[in-house]
Amino acid sequence: MPFLVLAMVLVVASANYLVQFPVNDWLTWGALTYPLSYFVTDLTNRRFGSGAARRVVYVGFALAVVASVWLASPRIALASGAAFLVSQLMDVAIFDRLRGRAWWQPPLFSSVLGSLVDTALFFALAFWGTSMPWVTLAIGDYGVKVAIALALLLPWRVVARRG
């Protein structure tokens, strides 16, 4: 599981750094990397169970917040940490509840709902009161996160079958 924690830290820290750079008024570069955090959480949950997934979330949270203070800013690190913890724990619970359903439902539904909560919390906390067009960025980022969650279903199926 250390590999999964490392993957989580790298994904979250890179997303927190990249979220500072808008592609346009609707998207930041962070939206292209952050959805992989749900992939990591869901793979952990499927292979090792919800307890292990929560441990990866907690350790990844602590390490990613520290890395993000250095890579981004304290405000972004704290906003990310709060949004990450809430949304990832929600993802774990939803995935676990849907575990017995069709193969694609647990990872898709948990990622889409987790991304919604993460996006709303993160952008409000990180950019409220700044000149960043955070509402449009949140909408655009969420759209990309949903698209990536859909695109990750095929790799999910391949990797989940091997596990």
Distance CA 126, CA 78 (A): 8
pLDDT of residue 163: 60
Structure tokens at 151: 């695109």
| Closest alpha carbon to 19 in 7, 6, 37 | 37
| pLDDT tens profile 18-53 | 888 888 888 889 889 989 999 999 999 999 999 999
| pLDDT tens profile 77-132 | 889 889 999 999 999 999 999 999 999 999 999 999 999 999 999 999 999 999 88
Hey, what CATH class is 2-162 in? mainly alpha
| C-beta of residue 88 within 8 angstroms of C-beta of residue 61 | yes
**CA gyration radius, the chain:** 15
Show contacts of 101-104: CB within 8 Å, 24+ apart.
103/157, 103/160, 104/153, 104/156, 104/157
Distance CA 95, CA 77 (A): 26
| C-beta of residue 74 within 8 angstroms of C-beta of residue 126 | no
| pTM higher than the cut 0.85 | yes
For the chain, the straight-line distance linking the first and the last C-alpha, in angstroms and rounded, comes to: 13
Distance CA 112, CA 9 (A): 20
pLDDT of residue 69: 82
Residue type, 94: I
Distance CA 18, CA 28 (A): 7
Task: Please report, for the chain, the start and end positions of each structural domain, with discontinuous segments joined by +.
Answer: 2-162
